[in-house]
């Protein structure tokens, strides 16, 4: 197996690692519920996109044996 004849400089090593760096996701606030959402996506909390309801949110189902008050 071949071995490198010279070692890479710290600058070259760090430059290569910088490409793998993760960046935080850009989010915007939902105009209705102020939840953080991705731009150009429907809000997962309230189901609205550009002032229209596009996702119908189902009510949470109750577990068997429990009664709602």
Predicted confidence (pLDDT) per residue in 11-63, tens digit: 999 999 998 888 899 999 999 999 999 999 999 889 999 988 888 876 667 67
Q: Is the pLDDT of residue 10 over 90?
A: yes
- pLDDT of res. 17: 92
Distances (CA, A) of 52 to 18, 24, 30, 31, 43: 41, 28, 12, 12, 11
Residues 6+ apart with CB under 8 A from 62: 68
CA separation for the pair 14, 6 (Å, rounded): 16
Instruction: Reduce the DSSP state of residue 18 to 3 states and report it.
Output: helix
- pLDDT of res. 57: 75
pTM (predicted TM-score): 0.54
């Amino acid at each position: 197996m071949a071995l490198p004849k010279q070692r890479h400089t710290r600058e070259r090593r760090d430059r290569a690692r910088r490409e793998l760096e993760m960046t935080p996701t850009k989010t915007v606030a939902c105009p209705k519920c102020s939840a953080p959402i991705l731009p150009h996506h429907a809000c997962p909390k309230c189901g609205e996109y550009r002032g229209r309801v596009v996702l119908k949110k189902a009510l949470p189902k109750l577990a068997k044996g429990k009664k709602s008050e």
